[in-house]
């Protein structure tokens, strides 16, 4: 039933239920991501404009009220034709730029406006034939000799919102919709924060904040409103994160692993090198975590090639030394295979039993897979290495103690939660069947709370080569402790990076041949697999054609092979193995080689169409070289002709530095928070108002307040925090898995 046009409106109402917003506008709004009343309320203006603000002609914004001054260059009266209106046309000029003024049925202006006069006008700006035009503007004679007659009335100093808009849905239309809507929504809006709390913070109430954010009386109101709304978002997330963290500390139990100098020695004896001080520091942190019965929840960050794997292996082997199991999850099959190969090599001759479990490796349901699952479930496997197949639901561990998740930027908060759930020993992952497994299974979470200290959990270590800026480690990774490996292992040779225009391709590949002649190997990265589905195949290089070109023209004496995600695993594995053994000299690849692939003899990388890749991705790709210790020159060639500002900045950053931390900061600056860890990857709903890193001060404030609130009321169960609790569960319940927690 449609809602009457003056009745109160609920936040969750979808816009198509509202009268006064037609189907077409509902569709246009949804393109801006606005589907509900709440979305619309949170669609805040980019800025506000003073109605009276005078600008240059250039700055006139179509479809808004504009004001400018200039000299009258020409005037023309067009009498009415038939029943049409008469028009009085004026060309108003500023140096270098003109604008037309049109008045309808205003013949009296013939006597008032003359070429040579200086006037100021104000009116609605319309586009006519692509040029701005003012329709029926108010005007005022500014000529020195003019008596001050008919001044443009001193405007109401109203601030007009300028909304993010589209061509079909201009800001003024959004303004109109909100003008009608706000009075119906705001009175019923409850505030999750108590009044005295807000007074203390000197922040407005939520309803006032929304009113002031859209239609402020002055700019101070607008910024106070924005501050409150951003704080609200940050406080919700910080509270959610803090609840999770407390929950993990008090309700989850992990096995406290045994450790002794003998065990330590035993583990280190497996490594083909001694650990760097940075690695040793992290190992110390791991030992401290793993020997406690509180589950470790740690993020290990370290640049590409920093040597994270061996540190992770230390943790896995601590589980094995205590007769328990470890699991290592990689984001791609190739990387899982790679880990399997290198860890197998390090453990050769030991009695540690390894399993490789990927989707491609043995088909689910096959006899081989069943046997493998059996080995894992009965404890005949010590370390299981795999992809997300590990959390597919059919895998049960006999006694899982340590989980390592590699390259965390591919896995978000939600995946981590799924991991913990499905890997929790003795906890079947079917929703609702066990404590701690089912978001939404407990409608009254506070009562359905299992006795504390009973929910088993493995220790979790997540690793990333994309360093997490401080803001992010406080927000979407806020429930993790962070360890960092600074620098690279000893003996690394630096990588030189060059940006080369595509026309020089011939030179580049001739040079490549000279490097191959010295016994070195190379990666060539191209954006697509084959010509299928590519709009202009002639312009975009693909793996197949490019491998063929290299084999036929530049590398005739060498072995060139192509590798990409569509190849079957055994084939891919065989190719990688031959590349590792040096039988393949040039590997033409898509970004499947982005993470983890480790072939020390590969010293050259050529990336075609480099402008098409993201900064973090290019840094990852480049990290495939420079892994040898032989004192060779590592070269990364970015073949690109960047056309956008962003692409230029990305490539420049890459040429400038190989320091992953600096690159991550550049990336963050170029792309902003939303994009950096894409929302889909983080698994969290995006902020609508808060902007990081700009709102860092608010973030700290929110963090402090969240802790204070929970110190007083750990489960938000008192009436004072009921509304906060409700808002929190609505916003972050599913994504943070809060239903389990409270």
The contact set with ligand ADP (CB under 6 A) reads 273, 275-276, 279, 302, 304-310, 465, 489-490, 598, 627
Nearer of residues 128 and 273 to ligand ADP, judged by Cβ: 273
Nearer of residues 344 and 471 to ligand ADP, judged by Cβ: 344
Q: Which of 174, 89, 96, 95 is nearest to 137 (CA)?
A: 89
Cβ of residue 617: shortest distance to ligand ADP, in angstroms?
Answer: 14
Which residue's structure tokens are 């033409």? 588
User: No. of H helices and E strands in the chain?
Assistant: 23, 22
Cβ of residue 658: shortest distance to ligand ADP, in angstroms?
Answer: 13
Give, as one character, the DSSP assignment of residue 18: S
What does 627 interact with, of ligand ADP, Mg ion, none (CB < 5 to 8 A by kind)? ligand ADP
Let me know: does 457 contact 255? Beta carbons within 8 Å: no
Computed over its alpha carbons, how large is the radius of gyration of the chain?
Answer: 32
**How many Å apart are CA 144 and CA 121, to the nearest integer?**
16
Within 79-118, which residues bind Mg ion (CB under 5 A)?
none
Cβ of residue 279: shortest distance to ligand ADP, in angstroms?
Answer: 6
Let me know: does 333 contact 569? Beta carbons within 8 Å: yes
What does 68 interact with, of ligand ADP, Mg ion, none (CB < 5 to 8 A by kind)? none
What does 331 interact with, of ligand ADP, Mg ion, none (CB < 5 to 8 A by kind)? none
What does 216 interact with, of Mg ion, ligand ADP, none (CB < 5 to 8 A by kind)? none
> Crossing angle of helices 615-622/660-676, nearest 10°?
140
Beta-bridge partner residues of 76: 89
What does 424 interact with, of Mg ion, ligand ADP, none (CB < 5 to 8 A by kind)? none
Nearer of residues 445 and 596 to Mg ion, judged by Cβ: 596
**How many Å apart are CA 36 and CA 513, to the nearest integer?**
60
The closest residue (CB) to ligand ADP is: 307
Nearer of residues 255 and 302 to ligand ADP, judged by Cβ: 302
Which residue's structure tokens are 């003073």? 50
Nearer of residues 260 and 274 to ligand ADP, judged by Cβ: 274
What are 709's two structure tokens? 């609130």
Nearer of residues 492 and 515 to Mg ion, judged by Cβ: 492
> Crossing angle of helices 308-321/261-268, nearest 10°?
130
Q: How far is CA 666 from CA 485, 529, 692, in A?
A: 20, 29, 14
Is the preceding peptide bond at 693 cis, omega within 30 degrees of 0?
Answer: yes
Nearer of residues 236 and 304 to ligand ADP, judged by Cβ: 304
Cβ of residue 654: shortest distance to ligand ADP, in angstroms?
Answer: 17
Cβ of residue 580: shortest distance to ligand ADP, in angstroms?
Answer: 11
Cβ of residue 407: shortest distance to ligand ADP, in angstroms?
Answer: 8
Q: Which of 469, 484, 163 is nearest to 307 (CA)?
A: 484
**How many Å apart are CA 647 and CA 666, to the nearest integer?**
12
Handedness of CA 154, 160, 162, 167 (dihedral sign): negative
What does 310 interact with, of Mg ion, ligand ADP, none (CB < 5 to 8 A by kind)? ligand ADP
Cβ of residue 218: shortest distance to ligand ADP, in angstroms?
Answer: 53
**How many Å apart are CA 617 and CA 171, to the nearest integer?**
36
Nearer of residues 331 and 596 to Mg ion, judged by Cβ: 596
What does 338 interact with, of ligand ADP, Mg ion, none (CB < 5 to 8 A by kind)? none
Cβ of residue 339: shortest distance to Mg ion, in angstroms?
Answer: 8
Within 552-611, which residues bind Mg ion (CB under 5 A)?
596
Cβ of residue 608: shortest distance to ligand ADP, in angstroms?
Answer: 23
What does 275 interact with, of Mg ion, ligand ADP, none (CB < 5 to 8 A by kind)? ligand ADP
Residues that bind Mg ion (CB under 5 A): 596
């Amino acid at each position: 039933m449609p809602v009457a046009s003056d009745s109160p409106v609920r936040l969750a109402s979808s816009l198509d239920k509202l009268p006064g917003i037609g189907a077409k506008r509902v569709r246009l709004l949804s393109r801006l991501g606005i589907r509900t009343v709440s979305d619309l309320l949170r669609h805040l203006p980019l800025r506000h404009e003073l109605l009276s603000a005078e600008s240059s002609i250039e700055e006139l914004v179509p479809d808004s009220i504009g004001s400018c001054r200039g000299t009258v260059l020409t005037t023309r009266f067009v009498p009415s034709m038939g029943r049409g209106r008469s028009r009085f046309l004026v060309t108003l000029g500023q140096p270098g730029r003109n604008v037309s003024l049109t008045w309808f049925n205003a013949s009296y202006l013939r006597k008032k406006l003359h070429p040579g006069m200086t006037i100021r006008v104000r009116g609605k700006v319309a586009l006519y034939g692509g040029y701005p035009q003012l329709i029926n503007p108010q005007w005022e004679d500014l000529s020195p000799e003019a008596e001050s007659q008919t001044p443009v009335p001193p405007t109401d100093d109203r601030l007009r919102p300028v909304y993010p808009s589209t061509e079909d849905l201009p800001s003024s239309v959004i303004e109109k919709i909100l003008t009608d809507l706000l009075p119906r929504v705001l009175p019923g809006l409850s505030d999750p924060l108590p009044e005295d709390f807000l007074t203390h913070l000197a922040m407005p109430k939520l309803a006032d904040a929304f009113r002031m954010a859209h239609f402020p009386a002055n700019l101070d109101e607008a910024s106070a409103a924005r501050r409150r709304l951003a704080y609200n978002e940050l406080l919700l997330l910080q509270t959610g994160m803090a609840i999770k963290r407390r929950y993990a500390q008090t309700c989850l139990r992990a096995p406290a692993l045994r450790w002794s100098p003998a065990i330590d020695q035993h583990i280190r004896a497996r490594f083909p090198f001694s650990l760097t001080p940075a690695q040793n520091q992290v190992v110390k942190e791991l030992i401290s975590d793993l020997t406690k019965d509180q589950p470790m929840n740690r993020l290990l960050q370290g640049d590409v090639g920093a040597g994270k794997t061996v540190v992770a292996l230390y943790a896995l082997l601590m589980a094995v030394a205590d007769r328990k199991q470890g699991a290592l999850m990689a984001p791609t099959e190739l990387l899982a295979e790679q880990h399997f190969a290198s860890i197998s090599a390090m453990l050769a001759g030991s009695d540690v039993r390894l399993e490789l479990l990927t989707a491609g490796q043995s088909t689910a349901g096959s006899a081989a897979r069943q046997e493998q699952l059996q080995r894992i479930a009965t404890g005949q496997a010590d370390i299981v290495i795999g992809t997300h197949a590990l959390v597919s639901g059919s895998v049960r561990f006999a006694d899982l103690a340590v989980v390592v998740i590699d390259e965390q930027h591919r896995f978000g908060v939600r995946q981590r939660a799924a991991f913990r759930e499905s890997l929790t020993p003795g906890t079947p992952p079917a929703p609702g069947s066990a404590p701690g497994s089912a978001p939404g299974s407990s409608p009254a979470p506070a009562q359905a709370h299992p006795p504390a200290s009973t929910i088993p959990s493995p220790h979790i270590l997540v690793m990333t080569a994309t360093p997490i800026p401080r803001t992010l480690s406080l927000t979407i990774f806020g429930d993790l402790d962070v360890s960092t490996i600074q620098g690279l292992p000893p003996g690394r040779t630096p990588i030189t990076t060059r940006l080369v225009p595509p026309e020089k391709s011939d030179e580049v590949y001739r040079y490549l041949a000279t490097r191959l002649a010295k016994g070195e190997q190379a990666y060539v990265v191209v954006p697509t697999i084959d010509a299928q589905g590519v709009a202009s195949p002639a312009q975009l290089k693909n793996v197949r054609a490019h491998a063929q070109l290299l084999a036929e023209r530049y590398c005739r004496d060498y072995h060139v092979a192509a590798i990409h995600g569509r190849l079957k695993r055994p084939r891919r594995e065989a190719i990688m193995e031959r590349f590792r053994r040096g039988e393949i000299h040039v590997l033409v690849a898509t970004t499947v080689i982005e993470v983890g692939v480790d072939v020390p003899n590969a010293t050259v990388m050529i990336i075609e169409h480099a402008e098409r890749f993201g900064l973090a991705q290019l840094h990852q790709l480049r990290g495939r070289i420079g892994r040898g210790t032989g004192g060779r020159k590592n070269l990364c060639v970015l073949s690109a002709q960047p056309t956008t500002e962003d692409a230029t900045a990305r490539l420049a950053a890459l040429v400038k530095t190989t320091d992953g931390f600096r690159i991550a900061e550049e990336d963050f600056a170029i792309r902003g928070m939303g994009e950096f860890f894409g929302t889909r990857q983080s698994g969290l709903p995006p902020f609508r108002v808060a902007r990081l890193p700009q709102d860092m001060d608010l973030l700290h404030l929110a963090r402090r307040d969240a802790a204070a609130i929970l110190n007083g009321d750990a489960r938000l169960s008192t009436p004072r925090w009921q509304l906060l609790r409700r808002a929190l569960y609505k916003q972050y319940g599913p994504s943070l898995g809060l239903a389990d927690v409270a």
